[in-house]
Structure 1
Amino acid sequence: MSLIPAVQKDEVLQRDFQSAVPAEGILLWWLGQSGFLIKSEYGTVLFDPYLSDSLTDKYRDTDKPHVRMTERAIKPSQLTGIDLVTSTHNHTDHLDAATLGPLIAANPSIKLVIPEANRAFVAKRLACDFAWPIGLSDGQSETVGAITIHAVPAAHNNVDRDQQGRCHYLGYIVQLGPNTIYHSGDTLMYDGMSEILRPFAVDLAILPINGMRPERRVSGNLFGDQAAQLAHQIGARMVVPCHYDMFSFNTESPDIFIDTCKMLGQPYRILGCGERFAFS
Structure 2
Amino acid sequence: MRLTETPLPAPLAQILAQPPGGALRLFWLGQAGFVIEGGGRRAVIDPYLSDSLAQKYRGTRFAHLRMMPAPVAPGAIRHVDLVLATHAHTDHLDPGTLPALLAANAGAALIAPRAALATALERSGIARQRLRGIDAGEVLDCGGITVTATRAAHEDLARDEAGHHRFLGLMLTMGGARVFHSGDTIPFAGQIDEVRALRADLALLPVNGRDATRAGNGVPGNLDMAEALDLARAAAIPAMIAHHFDLFDFNTAPRPRIEAMARASRAPHALAARADMSYGLASQATGQIP
123-132 or 63-72: which moved more?
123-132
Q: Find out whether 1:48 has 2:46 as its counterpart.
A: yes
TM-score (normalizing by structure 2): 0.88
Within 5 A, what are the aligned runs for 1:75-224? 75-130=73-128, 132-216=130-214, 217=217, 218-224=219-225
In structure 2, stretches of 5+ residues that fail to align are 1-6, 282-288
In 2, Cα distance between equivalents of 1:203 and 1:131: 32
In structure 1, the partner of 2:269 is: 267
Task: Tell me which residue corresponds to 1:232.
Answer: 233
Q: Secondary structure at the match of 1:163?
A: coil
2:39 is equivalent to residue 38 of structure 1:
no
> Alpha-carbon deviation of 1:264?
5.6
Paired with 1:161 and 1:131, the residues of 2 have a C-alpha distance of 24
Distance 1:31 1:273 in 2: 6
Deviation of 1:133 after TM superposition, in Å, equals 1.3
* Distance in structure 2 (CA, Å) of the matches to 1:251 and 1:70: 12
Matched residue, 1:3: none
Q: Separation in 1 of the partners of 2:125 and 2:98?
A: 11
For 1:230 and 1:257, the matched residues in 2 are separated by: 15
Q: Which residue of 2 aligns with 1:15?
A: 14
Contact 1:209 1:254 in 2 (8 A): no
Aligned residues: 272
Query: Is residue 20–residue 40 contact of structure 2 (8 Å, CA) maintained in 1?
Result: no
- 1:4 — aligned with what? none
Q: Report what 2:279 is aligned to.
A: 277
Q: Which amino acid aligns with 1:29?
A: F
Shift of 1:266: 2.0
Task: Output one character per residue of 1:122-170: Cα deviation in whole Å (capped at 9) or x when no partner.
Answer: 2233344445411011000111111000110110110111232210100
Q: Which position in structure 1 is the counterpart of 2:248?
A: 247
Q: 1:18 to 1:213 in 2, by over 3 A?
A: same
Deviation (angstroms), 1:72: 1.2
SS in 1 for 2:96: helix
Question: TM-score, length-normalised on structure 1?
Answer: 0.91
Whichever residue aligns with residue 120 of structure 1, its letter is A
